[in-house]
Structure 1
Amino acid sequence: MDRFESLAERRIREAMERGEFDDLPLAGQPLDFSDADDPQWWIKRWMKREHIDTAALAPIVVQLRREADGFPGSLGRFTREDDVREYLTDYNHRVRQDRVESRFSRESRIIAPVVDVEAMVARWRELQ
């Protein structure tokens, strides 16, 4: 043993001697450095590997606008009118809450639309 060998190096060497690194997934395959110039490559790979929805990282107002863009089609998952009404009322509550919280921001404001619950319920009925 080299007397300058660090503890970490020694443990790696010993693990290799025990065969603990044999048969690892992707062993023998080339490393992928295609995104090495991106400073956030590691987080992007981690999010992809863990199936993390990047839409959830967008500002709340952007998420709300995307949600509204999906109406009435996205309401098709509901089978009861009361559930649609409750969902849309909750959506409007979240929009109003975002507007209140954004009053204290100095950024230029994007706002999400409030929906007419009854008109949207009527459109939902047409899709049924």
Structure 2
Amino acid sequence: MTERKPSGERFESWVDRQIREAIERGEFDDLPGLGKPIPDIDRPYDEMWWVRRKLQREGVSALPPALALRKEAERAMAEAMRADSEDEVRRIVADLNDQIRALMRRPLPGPPLTLLPYDVDEAVRRWREERRPR
């Protein structure tokens, strides 16, 4: 829509005409989300919605490092329990332990880190226990 509103024509009727002509040309056909509900339409208004959505899309955490690592630890341990092999369990727990040790070496903003490295052999024992036929 590059056309300018003609002088003397009411703005509302000019806009309505532009929309009607675009509909007639089929420019609104096959738009993404056509026929689907608008996401979060029932949520209360939040003027920072676009910032939150951008952070979520980019995978940026607004949590302090200690809390973000605690959340990551829960995810990693659940992943370890679903692993297909002992080697995979050991790798997942070792990677998590590396992250914990790295965070332990530096001062953190926010709450203190209360996580200690996990016992890899204990994780493997729990993994075996969950796999054992009952």
The alignment's TM-score, normalised by the length of structure 1, stands at 0.59
| Counterpart in the other structure of 2:3 | none
Matches within 5 A, 1:57-76: 57=61, 58-69=63-74, 73-76=78-81
| Counterpart in the other structure of 2:22 | 18
**Residues of 2 paired with 1:33 and 1:124: CA distance?**
42
What per-residue deviation string (whole Å, max 9, x for no partner) do you get for residues 67-87 of structure 1? 434675542321211111121
| Counterpart in the other structure of 2:122 | 119
| Counterpart in the other structure of 2:50 | 42
Matched, 1:99 2:107: no
Q: Aligned letter for 2:103?
A: D
| Pair 1:11–1:86, CA change in 2 (3 A) | same
CA RMSD of aligned residues (A): 4.1
Identity of aligned residues (%): 27
| Pair 1:66–1:18, CA change in 2 (3 A) | closer
**Residues of 2 paired with 1:111 and 1:12: CA distance?**
61
Q: Higher RCO, 1 or 2 (CA under 8 Å, sep at least 6)? A: 1
- Which ranges of structure 1 fall in alignment gaps of 5 or more residues? none
Q: Aligned letter for 1:85?
A: R
SS of match in other structure, 2:105: helix
The alignment's TM-score, normalised by the length of structure 2, stands at 0.57
SS of match in other structure, 1:110: coil
What per-residue deviation string (whole Å, max 9, x for no partner) do you get for residues 34-69 of structure 1? 522x2223345x46xxx8597x62344323313434
**Range moving further from structure 2, 62-71 or 108-117:** 62-71
Contact residue 92 and residue 114 of structure 1 kept, 8 A: yes
- Which ranges of structure 2 fall in alignment gaps of 5 or more residues? 1-5
SS of match in other structure, 1:82: helix
